[in-house]
Structure 1
Amino acid sequence: MCGYIVKKKNLYHCKCSTKACNNNKSARPLNDLFAQILQTFKVDEAKDMVKAINKQAAAKFNQMTAGDRDDYHNLQGQHTEIQKKINRLEKRYIEKEIGGELYHKYHAKYKEEKREIEKNLTKLSRQVSNLDEGVGTAVKFTLELPLKWVSADYNTRKRIQYLLFPEGIRYSKKTDEC
């Protein structure tokens, strides 16, 4: 559904763009329906429950990124090794053990390998400096989700809706339900 404003009444409405649907409804009741749906996502504020959710979310994050950490450490080792090769190559060139042609050939090769390793390290560096704080922020957000929806502007509402329903949400005109 697309949103628009009725200028005479200064009210927002939503209209379905599908020809067969032809649904046109005030945005206020639709927003109220969505706020009711958000109540199902709300987490109880019981301190024990919040602590358990924080602990479980942090554990799940660590579990999901465990393989990435191993890969990251392997790449760090490769980065150290390639840097040693570059240093050794430069030393051999300075001490005239190898010529300029050989030096430039291998220097370019090692530099490219180093760039590739650094690119992969950047991809895998999703390390969270304070995981507990990040999880706490997310849980706090869920505690306040319905309130956030009611007080949010249009763009924030779109982001909340997409966060919870990335493939969209439907409204039934017949049953007046989302």
Structure 2
Amino acid sequence: MSKYLRNPFYCGIIVSPLLPDEIIEGKQEPLVSREVFLKINNLLQSRKDVRKYNSEDENLPLKTFVRSLSCDTPYTGYIVRLKDLYYYKNRRKGSKENRSAKKMHQTFLEFLRSFQLSDSKYIEPLKEIIEEKFIELNAEKIEDAKNAKNQLNAIQRKIDRLEERFVFEEISKPQFQKFNEKLKVEKKRIRETLFKKQIQ
């Protein structure tokens, strides 16, 4: 439900990056009133979680890379905002395995130093070898990611077209809701499938 309360399209307003700072009154029937949209959206924007999980965070570079010693489950990560501290956490349901990100990073850096080259002339050749080997070992995942990106772009174009048809009253509200939900479910499925493949 929160997706309807974050996108102004659903309260009868159209905004576009092609027309910055401009709001267009849509012809579509609003799914939520503007008053409710503004009130709830402001609440959602101001809400602060004590723990906030983030799939892409430069402060947690070891996520999915580091695995639990006890069950081999990849770690995820989160921040405790009240303390402004980052932690890694075992992704397994029910696990209470948490690790300080700061300590894990220090340990990991110490481990990496054991591979430090004594002569800088070997650095560039080694980089090339590592890059080639990475591509070789991850060729399937790279191709999967490329295909998934193409699929997601295609679905997004369909969603954009669906919204456009709804705005210009080419389709009814029930039709819009039905196909919009189907497309978003498919979009989510592709992302989840890709994520599972990437961490295997």
Q: TM-score, normalised by structure 1?
A: 0.39
Q: Indicate the structure (1 or 2) with the bigger Cα radius of gyration.
A: 1
| Structure with greater helix share of residues | 1
With a CA cutoff of 8 Å and minimum separation of 6, indicate the structure with the bigger relative contact order: 1
